[in-house]
Amino acid sequence: MSRSALLYLDGVSVTFDGFRALNALSLVLAPGEMRAIIGPNGAGKTTMMDVITGKTRPDTGDVLFRGTDLTRLDEPAIARLGIGRKFQKPTVFEQLTVHDNLLLSLKGRRRPFAMLFARLTSAESGRIESILATTRLAPHAGRLAGALSHGQKQWLEIGMLLGQDPELLLVDEPVAGMTDAETMQTADLLRDINRTHSVVVVEHDMEFVRALNVKVTVLHEGSVLAEGSVEQVSANSRVVEVYLGR
């Protein structure tokens, strides 16, 4: 199982000052899959992302990506391995233009010296054009990222993920603060991205999760409560009790 899986978490536990943020969490993601993670606040969704991306080290458990042990690597190493992350609060480089935000995110050079002498290549320009088109940010390419609206920042951050071109995208609450129309557009965008990338989406918005129409994992108190289609988990009495019913 762990060999064929893209992402493999087994028995992962994390404790913060006595609080069990993750409790023997296990999760397997197949290559090419998109998975939605839902659960009440404090269920461990963000901590799980932190463990996968190297921000938090688990106390126990295995975290493997294509068979590579992620618990031994730090954030940049994991990012270079092919895992991208979009944060809950959009974090873009506000003092740089949209174009330059995307340029910095593009897969490739990462060493300071190489960056010093880097010139914009036509391949890079092409990539940026295409991402600008996908994220509908083309008219804003020359604007400072800090001047974008909240929804546009979310999209820019997704665009930066595309620029990184990771094998696996972790997307934390992508539609928080978005209008209904934007939410549906984002669902379309993620489904589109999923054609070529594996995706894990953490989201509260059940409409959005329904629109994604993928396998759902429900977390509760740091471990998996239920797993299955949207309909299956919605019908699960425990899920209704701890999460949906409230």
Partner 1 sequence: MIRRRPASDWAAAVVLAAACVLALLSLLPEARLLHVPAYIVGLAGKYLSYAILALAVDLVWGFAGILTLGHAAFFALGGYAMGMYLMREIGTRGVYANPDLPDFMVFLSWTHLPWYWYGFSHLAFALLMAVLVPGVLAAAFGFLAFRSRVSGVYLSIITQALTYALLLAFFRNDMGFGGNNGLTDFKDIAGADLHQPATRAALLAITALVLALCLVVSRMILRSRYGDLLVAVRDAENRTRFIGYRPEHIKLMIWVFSAVIAGLGGALYVIQVGIINPGEFSPGNSIEAVIWVAVGGRGTLWGPVLGALLVNFGKTIFTGVLPELWLYALGALFILTTLFLPRGLVGLRRRVRRDATPALEPGDGEVTP
Binding site for partner 1 (CB under 8 A): 53, 74-76, 79-80, 84-85, 87, 91-96, 100, 103-105, 109-113, 115-118, 144, 146-147, 160, 164
Query: What are the φ/ψ torsions at residue 139 (nearest 5 degrees)?
Result: -70, -15
Tokens of 231: 């309909």
Q: Three-state SS for 77? A: helix
**CB nearer to partner 1: pick between 24 and 79:** 79
Shortest reach from residue 113's CB to partner 1, in Å: 7
- d(Cα 154, Cα 140) in Å, to the nearest integer? 14
Shortest reach from residue 28's CB to partner 1, in Å: 23
In 3-state terms, the chain is what percent helix, strand and coil (to 5)?
Answer: 40, 25, 35
Shortest reach from residue 53's CB to partner 1, in Å: 6
Shortest reach from residue 108's CB to partner 1, in Å: 9
**CB nearer to partner 1: pick between 95 and 229:** 95
- d(Cα 246, Cα 230) in Å, to the nearest integer? 17
- Cβ neighbors of 87 (< 8 A, separation 6 or more) are 157, 172
- d(Cα 66, Cα 50) in Å, to the nearest integer? 18
Backbone torsion region of residue 18, taken as left when φ is above 0, otherwise alpha when ψ lies between -120 and 50, otherwise beta:
left
Shortest reach from residue 147's CB to partner 1, in Å: 5
CB 134, CB 162: distance < 8 Å: yes
Tokens of 121: 């290549």
Shortest reach from residue 80's CB to partner 1, in Å: 4
**CB nearer to partner 1: pick between 144 and 244:** 144
**CB nearer to partner 1: pick between 50 and 205:** 50
CB 107, CB 164: distance < 8 Å: yes
